[in-house]
Chain A
Amino acid sequence: MNFDHSPEDQAFRAEVRAWMEANTPRDPSGIATGMRIGKETQFAWEKTLAKRGWLAWSWPKEFGGPGFTVTQRDIFDDERARAGAPSVGPFGVMMLGPVLMHFGTPEQQQYFLPRIANGEHAWCQGYSEPGSGSDLASLKTQAVRIGDEYVVNGQKIWTTQAHWADWIFCLVRTSTETSKQQGISFLLIDMKTPGIEVRPIITIDGHHHLNEVFFTDVKVPAKNLVGTEGQGWTIAKFLLTHERTGIAAVGDSRRQLSWLKQTIARDPAMKDNPHARRRITELEVDLMALEYTNLRTLDRISRGQSPGPESSGLKIKGTELQQAISEAQLEFGGLHAMPWEEDVDGEPVYRAASTRYNFLRACTIYGGSNEIQKNVLAKVLVGL
């Protein structure tokens, strides 16, 4: 047993590191400070990655990805985070891509996958509804099949980047006759279709990431159904469980913690503060436990096994750690973290802290709240 990377993987790491250092966008308004970056910067970055063939970094070669091994994927994302580069929008590459590879028709694969991989299509995810949060299967947005089309009526909410997206993948109700799960289908909808209206929701970090999306008699070609009618819940579950590595956000947490550590080291008011240094050390130990738990999952996947019990806590522990680091950033920043405006001078980490702290409250809510994760795990562990 060893945790050492092979010479090939070390060479791969060096290659990615050099490329990231040369190509990571230097956006004074956002990236270096960990603040939210703008649409132009995000899309330009994704185009840069696409040009290198690395936008769809988690995909196999046959579908237009670079064909990284599981370990290489981890190294790639680790180096991406290390360089302080933004992560790729998750909805096309990480979520819809694997769904289409697994459930899509050849036509859907040939049309959509290359457009995700080259950055032409930005996607968003239409899951949650006003009455359907953790109880997702109760969703009501209706799709009625009329001839070669579905007619969609209803409302989605908390739709991240809907205002940037060209397309949305939606869970819709195609039947009320069967169980609530079996009546759900998975539909791809062009955001330019008449009858779609996007309204912004401003979150507590003061920014616009989220939206409400309203559908009024939206006509969707039947060929945009993924899988079969009623298979939507199965696909949704596949999507949630497919990508287990990366869910822990080890690389990003390490980046944020090391930024904070460097900031404190040059802050005359904090550098000799024993409480701050102890808190950093405690966070480093927690990060190490998360990192090696993530590596255990990675090792299993590399050997063709499904993730083991160790993976169950990755989302819970990973998001708790993200929040704990941002809380330390906010508290260490003290008065420097008070200005609620971006163009005030100061240490970037402190200046971004209040925004990040507010924003990151979301991470224990999205992707299945941590309480829902625990309910699911308890079912297995208690077995009642």
Chain B
Amino acid sequence: MDLTFTSEQEILQDSAVKFAQKGYGFEQYKKSLAAPGQSDPAIWKQIAEFGWLALPVPESAGGLGGSTLDVALVAEALGAALVVEPFLTGAFLPAAVIAAVADPSKHADLLGQLAAGDVQLAVAYTERTGRFDPAHVHTHGDRVGDGYVLNGEKLCVFNAPNASHLIVSAHVGKSIELFLVGRETAGVGLNSYPVLGGGVAADVKLHDVKLGADAHIGDLSALEIGLDKATAAACAQALGGMKALFERTAAYLRTRKQFGVPIGTFQALQHRLVDMFIEIEQSRSMVLLAAAKADGRDATERRRAVSSAKAYVGKASKMVAQQAVQLHGGIGMTEELDVGHYFRQLTAFGTRFGDRDHHLDRVQALSDAA
């Protein structure tokens, strides 16, 4: 057991924290929300220049071949700064899915553009009747000649409006396969909307979408691996938000006076703050565990660690966010303070990548299978 980071990881973490503290802030967050697709091109370019978009791209496809922990360190810093640009849904998740297919080097061009910040992608796997289950797919791909024709609907595909390509899951016969679909392809229709906590998504309709044979890039297992890695990183991002809320709340308890004394002298409030702190530390343990196991070869360990982490951090993040608003009182309810915006991001985190129930089901299924 060795829980230290490599010096490269420390440098990576350091640069991400510095960017979060100096290069981004509440003002930039509001600017990004107003940008097209809620993603400021200047910020996205900076994120690319740091090399963070190349982290999940395998070396065989010209990337850095970084670990999920590397990405998690960046994600935590971004979460602490309210960064709304789609680092996970637009870059890490799709790259991690492609990295898990049989031969990612075939997609070196697209991944190169992704790493350079020239394109964003999206993964379209959720459907109306399937909640969060990637194996619940009604969309189907029929073989026609050398290629495929896709038909179906996807629900709330995060970052689809910004994506040059969608990675779409579809049944081909009995198996679930992944297709790389240009967003402008005939038959692809998006109903786009902004989402809770920032960012954009779309309900995607696929009507007789004709694809060549090379559009087929992999199968369900690659999607599952990519989702697990991105879920681990999402937990890290949430951890950053939780930490930021804790710091703001502690500072508020020190400075806000009522009855002539700082409200931090009240025991009921002190204990609430301590509870937040403890939940953050426990969440950090789960993030480290999930990040460590997400890249492991043991699929059962990976699933259990990631889903346990999402279930735990999902609950803990709600507690921390709710208490942060409560302890700030009325001002915590307003849009003028950043606290409420962290609150919304963490609320969205509870649902994104699967809610607590979904992940508890998954842990339980692993336990039943054992």
Q: Which residues of A approach B to under 8 Å, CB–CB?
A: 1-6, 9, 71, 277-278, 281-282, 284-286, 288-290, 292-293, 295-296, 298-299, 302-303, 309-310, 312-313, 316-317, 371, 374-375, 377-378, 381-384
Contacts and interface: CB of A to CB of B under 8 A. Distances in A.
Contacts of B262: 384
Interface of B is mostly: helix
A292 B290 CA distance: 11
Nearest to A293: B285
Given A284-B363, A296-B285, A317 B278 contact: yes
B254 A374 contact: no
A4 B3 CA distance: 10
Given A2-B2, A375-B267, A285 B288 contact: no
Contact of A281 (B69, B265, B270, B364): B364
Nearest to A295: B1
A378 B284 CA distance: 20
B370 to A, nearest CB: 11
Given A310-B285, A312-B277, A4 B1 contact: yes
Give the most central of A3, A71, A293, A382: most B CB within 10 Å: A382
A164 to B, nearest CB: 35
Interface in B1-38: 1-5, 9
B250 interface: yes
Given A296-B288, A384-B264, A374 B271 contact: yes
Contacts of B277: 309, 312-313, 377, 381
Interface in B281-322: 281-286, 288-289, 291-292, 308, 311-312
Nearest to B313: A289
Contacts of B283: 289
Nearest to B290: A292
Nearest to A290: B282
Given A1-B5, A296-B288, A286 B312 contact: yes
Given A6-B1, A284-B363, 17 more contacts: A1-B288, A3-B288, A284-B367, A285-B360, A285-B363, A295-B1, A302-B1, A310-B281, A312-B281, A313-B277, A316-B278, A371-B271, A374-B271, A377-B277, A378-B274, A381-B270, A381-B273
A48 B215 CA distance: 68
A169 B49 CA distance: 63
Contacts of A292: 285-286, 288-289
Interface string B44-77: 0000000000000000000000000100000000
Contacts of B264: 382, 384
B282 to A, nearest CB: 4
B253 interface: yes
Contacts of B288: 1, 3, 292, 296
A285 B315 CA distance: 11
A371 B270 CA distance: 10
A382 B289 contact: no
A3 B3 CA distance: 7
Contacts of A296: 3, 284-285, 288
A321 to B, nearest CB: 11
Contact of B3 (A1, A6, A277, A281): A1
B250 A381 contact: yes
Interface in B175-212: none
A5 B1 contact: yes
A282 B278 contact: no
B278 A382 contact: no
B273 A285 contact: no
